[in-house]
Amino acid sequence: MDEIESDVMSREGASVGLHKYGGLQFNYYGKEIGHLHSNGLLDILFDRKVKQELLLEGKINHHHVFKNSGWISFYIQDAGDMNYAKELLSIAYEKKSKHLL
């Protein structure tokens, strides 16, 4: 999980803090882009179009609580999952940075 935190922190405007429900929260200029629970569950907010595209790839799931939102859930269980988690956070960062510019 340290690897994900380091990857996020290497980006301009990114910060990491504690999430209100536990785990780490990843922010872009103070706005949450996702959070990582201690059990390896990564939740990321996308727009619904991006979420649908990612769902078609078959690697992510609807958010474990807010299924009808842009939130997705992804369980990190091995090194391959870790790389995909970093890719998902990178997509979220890029989308958020383009939206705020």
So where are the chain's domains?
2-100
pLDDT tens, position by position, 29-77:
999 999 999 999 999 999 999 999 999 999 999 998 888 899 999 999 9
Are 46 and 92 a contacting pair, CB within 8 Å? Answer: yes
Q: In what side-by-side order are the strands of the sheet with 61-62?
A: 14-18, 24-28, 31-36, 41-45, 71-75, 61-62
Are 16 and 5 a contacting pair, CB within 8 Å? Answer: yes
Q: Is the pTM of this model over 0.75?
A: yes
Distance of CA 89 to the CA centre of its chain: 4
